[in-house]
Structure 1
């Protein structure tokens, strides 16, 4: 498969792909070539029919069409776009299914994991996607083993959260080929911090996100975020973190300036918004998935928190995607 030791990477671009993810995928290979003084890596760009494909920032990149059969790729990676959760292409699906039966590495960056899942590539494998899409990913593919790691490599198939996480994947691949010392030289070339372990979380810790250090409060918010479909009653939540309900209320009011019940509703509404924006799930189904059993209550709470109705928010999001 290798041509005189050269590793051939094929990158498939979907409309609205992330330029940050694309650069993080390609640049480590360019950097490795520069440091080695030889062509260790080469790459090509594909799309279903070939031609220009626009990134989310409006810059277009030229691509080649999908070949009938590929025998020359050591790696094929889907660089995710803004509507990958509904993206489908028969040629791409067949292309991926063929490749996963070969020795090639098959992977995705960001929301490209939806495309791998649609092709059945992720069946029986651990996987991830961008953290903002994880709830929608889990709802659409409930049987998959989905985690929040920055990247996962499972039997020659990788998925990652997108953005600079693609660099972590590529540095892992470079290190596997040329050793960790060489991978670190590539990392230093891009003034990149330490190479992150695959199992690091995509998002900041709750301590960093909340800006507080109170362990009880952090534990309570963590329980809220992990129990959105069937919300915990406040007495149960308080008991789980080892305080009285009144103590829990004081903690939220002191550190976050809001009652725990109100904060819990915000957590559930934020998850509902992610589902509405990143999936085709019916509005009421999204409400139920976030613990709301009344459509009218959900709509009122949503409008109060976000300033618009769930349906208007979804329409506005889709219009923005179409304009980009």
Structure 2
């Protein structure tokens, strides 16, 4: 299938490079099927049903459709801070339950967002503008959030929501950020995709220009290191040094943004199992509770 797409984009790019670039952007933004492909994934969703039933589900209307949100109440805290949790590409709230439960048990309320085209949300398209709009809708309904946490693409999303990188949406700045296995450079991701699709130079420029049309900002402005340096929000970056999907160079780049960024290396957990690692859960809870400890002192 990829060879067919590659061939089609190449032929179109010779004749109408702008059309090829736009087609590539649509392909880049198309979300994977919601139904889990493996028996293990289906079993995980089935086992998550009791925990998901404890949350209050609320659909929020956006320009792109309806975004599903899940409110998990704090345990044993009548006046909790609220943490926002965002999953990665091809994922959903159910796969973030270990972190959600750890935060609940520490006395935090948690709002989890199914990004557009994922989980219970509508659509089959996701890009940074749609994702930031989803976070903005959650902030207006439940915010402000003391912490915003994102895994993989969700990490890039919460960072961009915090800095207000998308036109028409104001910055939604929490007290702290947590970025788990997150990509640093969206220009790098787009360049990888353009190479994979074999796009010619003119088609590649059209693909990149589409980012500005959608977000109001040029692609080269979506670099996490520069955004974090400007934001100066205390940030915990968690990454496996052997992550094969989002390489450790991304975490190292984040670390150069300033002294407000700290990196935790979670070796041996990969890109997804890192969300269940005991040391990671403990670090997230401790980082999320820093203001609580300061007030108690």
Quickly name the TM-score band, shorter chain normalised.
0.3 to 0.5
TM-score, structure 2 normalization? 0.36
TM-score, structure 1 normalization? 0.33
Instruction: Say which structure, 1 or 2, has more relative contact order (CA 8 Å, 6+ apart).
Output: 2
